[in-house]
């Protein structure tokens, strides 16, 4: 098996095993969170990836942070995303939409009616959030009532339906990096005493209800899940991550979804890696992400550690990354100062090999 050979992912045949990881770039319309013409160009330029996973896309108005984020919670968003998917498909590519909710990492200054962000428990994230007045500490969120959780599941259901209507080949449920689903999963952020807290089974319930809703809308072959067992950057953490993610993998396997997308640094010492156990438990496609370089990606695929490798930063600066990796060509260096500033510079103006 080679990084550049075709691969099967759910119901799709992909041209290669290179995945463009989801990358928030803050380039959508600031007022309505719709993608703009430059977004069409950005994704079309990168369509040689076996699979593109879109930037994290908000499923509800209450999920808001920095300006320029994108959304998929109303009909106008559906219409605005259609040129993106059409451009990728015309260029021969495939694209999933990543769906997420910020949970406690939102801020009331950007939420309708200045409402507090919501979370499984009233525990603030560690760190700061951008606001109109500058960076502020994350607020203490409002703990969701038991009867309110179903509405958030329905938000993801609606978003999955909208993604299909917009022409996406599938959706990735973002259960990583300390956002709402991850907040339910982790014992450090979930101290509920009802059937959504406490045991591993209860803490995974919210994620699995969302997966079931997305599958009902799109089918098993068009749904994936991203997890980050090693993420602790905002005060996230779990008392037994190996047991938690083993259960999650078993449940996703029982549902037969397309793939599991695991963030696990390639540099992580072997004894700390969860991928070997999760790969035994989950028989669908496994995507690994974790700052892979060319050599590490080739090795991971050839050794059978993963079916696909996701690249993030390298795709920012190298729209033709697949060709560059194949030819062992020099890589453009990303301009970090332009990552989240809006506009076309540092977004759609990186040179191609043929330029």
Interval 200-256: pLDDT, tens = 999 999 999 999 999 999 999 999 999 999 999 899 999 999 999 999 999 999 999
In a domain, 105, yes or no: yes
> What's the predicted TM-score (pTM) here?
0.97
In a domain, 348, yes or no: no
In a domain, 289, yes or no: yes
In a domain, 286, yes or no: yes
The CA dihedral of 82, 259, 48, 323, to the nearest 10 degrees, is 160
Q: Supply the pLDDT for residue 133.
A: 85
**Residue 245 and residue 254: Cα distance in Å, rounded?**
14
Q: How many domains does the chain have?
A: 1
**Residue 24 and residue 57: Cα distance in Å, rounded?**
9
Q: Supply the pLDDT for residue 310.
A: 99
What are 74-84's pLDDT values in tens digits?
Answer: 999 999 999 99
Per-residue tokens: 233: 């950057």
Positions marked catalytic: 179
Q: Would you call 259 helix, strand, or coil by DSSP? A: strand
- Containing structural domain, residue 236: 7-338
What are 5-29's pLDDT values in tens digits?
Answer: 999 999 999 999 999 999 999 899 8
In a domain, 99, yes or no: yes
Hey, which bits of the chain come out as E strands? 7-9, 12-14, 18-20, 51-58, 70-71, 95-100, 118-119, 128-129, 136-137, 142-143, 170-175, 223-227, 259-263, 285-289, 308-311
The answer on pLDDT for 354 being more than 80 is no
Among 63-72, 177-186, 225-234, 344-353, where is mean pLDDT lowest?
Answer: 63-72
Residue 210: give its domain's CATH number. Answer: 3.20.20.70
In a domain, 175, yes or no: yes
In a domain, 350, yes or no: no
Per-residue tokens: 234: 């905002």
In a domain, 1, yes or no: no
């Amino acid at each position: 098996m080679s990084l550049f050979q075709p691969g099967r992912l759910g119901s799709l045949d992909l041209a290669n095993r290179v995945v463009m990881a989801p990358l928030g770039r803050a380039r959508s319309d600031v007022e309505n969170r719709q993608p703009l013409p430059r977004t069409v160009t950005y994704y079309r330029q990168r369509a040689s990836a076996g699979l593109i996973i879109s930037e994290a896309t908000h499923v509800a108005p209450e999920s808001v942070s920095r300006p320029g984020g994108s959304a998929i919670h109303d009909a106008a968003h559906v219409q605005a995303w259609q040129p993106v998917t059409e451009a990728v498909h015309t260029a021969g590519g495939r694209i999933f939409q990543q769906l997420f909710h910020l949970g406690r990492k939102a801020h009331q200054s950007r939420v309708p009616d200045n409402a507090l962000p919501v979370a499984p428990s009233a525990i603030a994230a560690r760190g700061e959030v951008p606001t109109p007045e500058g960076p502020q500490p994350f607020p203490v969120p409002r703990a969701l009532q038991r009867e309110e959780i179903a509405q958030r599941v329905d938000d993801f259901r609606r978003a999955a339906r909208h993604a299909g209507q917009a022409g996406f080949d599938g959706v990735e449920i973002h259960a990583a990096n300390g956002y709402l689903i991850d907040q339910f999963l982790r014992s450090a952020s979930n101290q509920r005493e009802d059937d959504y807290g406490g045991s591993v089974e209860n803490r995974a319930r919210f994620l699995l209800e969302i997966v079931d809703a997305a599958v009902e809308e799109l089918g098993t072959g068009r749904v994936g899940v991203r997890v980050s067992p090693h993420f602790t950057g905002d005060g996230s953490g779990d008392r037994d991550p190996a047991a938690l993610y083993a259960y999650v993998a078993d449940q996703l396997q029982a549902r037969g979804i397309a793939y599991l997308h695991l963030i696990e640094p390639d540099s992580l010492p072997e004894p700390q890696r969860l991928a070997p156990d999760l790969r035994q438990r989950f028989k669908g496609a496994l995507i690994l992400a974790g700052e892979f370089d060319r050599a590490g990606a080739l090795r991971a695929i050839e050794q059978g550690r993963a079916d696909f490798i996701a690249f993030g930063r390298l795709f920012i600066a190298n729209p033709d990354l697949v060709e560059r990796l194949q030819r062992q060509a020099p890589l453009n260096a990303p301009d970090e100062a332009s990552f989240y500033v809006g506009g076309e510079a540092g977004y759609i103006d990186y040179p191609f090999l043929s330029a």
